[in-house]
Structure 1
């Protein structure tokens, strides 16, 4: 099972945090900090997976997990998995995740993660649900992601139309327009009478 997916930059700032089990906020923060500390201390010649017990809940439930990661430019992509998972398959899964992001954002960078976090979560949800891998075919993931984006866009457009209709109703645009026309007619009528009196 995959217990967490973490992305952070080389200075340790988290850009994506996704846990597939319930952990307290304090423990989540400790896991993120410890994951960065472990990964940043390693050099390029070392393998990309490390045994860790960072998910140990106050010594009550020790969980020996594998921390698997890859570095892409200024970003670390890390998966915390249990020992039932295949190390090479998880490294491939990290590559698939990054390739899909690359296709979606045309060479993904840190700013894409900052400004499109919801889309990144959509991509991840097409690959992993509940800590289990459900899809690894990049074309399938892309197709589902594009379909989801169309649905989101359609939903946003419907909301915009509803908001505009509600605003129009609340402003009583038609009623105010009638009042304005009536007021303009009265002014024109009064001005016409006033001009006639002056001419007499």
Structure 2
């Protein structure tokens, strides 16, 4: 089971914090800081793995699986029984979906397009369980959530149009977005 999905930049600024198991707000901040510090410390020491384990009293409670893409860390906090390679593949699929939705996604896209970011994550994970990994289905569902475009000749054109609409809205507000329709 996935307990948390975190995303932060090189400076440790959170861009996404989604918890599937209840964690009090104070502990969420402590958990985030601990994970960020462990990842950064490992990088400074030359660590070459994307898997970390939290051990207390010789018993592992959960594992931290992360991948860095272009200055952003995508982190999963999962049960010890979960397959680390499967979770790395999930992270890669999540990034691919974001890349299609935003057309070469950047950190700024995720800051201003947080609704799309949340929607993609909700299409992929429900209650801490991965329910969908097919990129085309996920992108198609996101497009339908945002009004859809009947008569588009291809999914890729529909996704491009969705990305253009979201960019217009993010860069110019409602006025620019409504005039582009």
What is the SS of the residue equivalent to 2:22? coil
Please give the TM-score of this superposition, normalised by the length of structure 1: 0.69
Please give the TM-score of this superposition, normalised by the length of structure 2: 0.76
Cα deviation per residue 1:45-72 (whole Å; 9 max; x = unaligned)? 511010025xx9xx9xx87101000001
Matches within 5 A, 1:8-157: 8-43=8-43, 46-52=48-54, 64-150=61-147
Give the 4+ runs in structure 1 shifted more than 4 A.
Answer: none
Q: Which runs of 5+ in 2 are unaligned?
A: 149-161, 163-181
**Highest Rg: 1 or 2?**
1
Give 1:149 deviation, angstroms.
Answer: 1.3
Aligned twin of 1:176:
none
Cα distance in 2 between the residues matched to 1:136 and 1:85: 16
Contact 2:9 / 2:15 at 8 angstroms: preserved in 1? yes
Contact 2:53 / 2:60 at 8 angstroms: preserved in 1? no
Q: Which runs of 5+ in 1 are unaligned?
A: 154-200
Give 1:77 deviation, angstroms.
Answer: 0.4
What is the SS of the residue equivalent to 2:49? coil
Q: How many residues align?
A: 146
What is the SS of the residue equivalent to 2:42? coil
What is the SS of the residue equivalent to 1:11? coil
Contact 2:67 / 2:88 at 8 angstroms: preserved in 1? yes
Aligned twin of 1:158:
none
Contact 2:6 / 2:74 at 8 angstroms: preserved in 1? yes
What is the SS of the residue equivalent to 2:63? strand
Contact 2:123 / 2:131 at 8 angstroms: preserved in 1? yes
Cα deviation per residue 1:140-197 (whole Å; 9 max; x = unaligned)? 111111111117x9xxxxxxxxxxxxxxxxxxxxxxxxxxxxxxxxxxxxxxxxxxxx
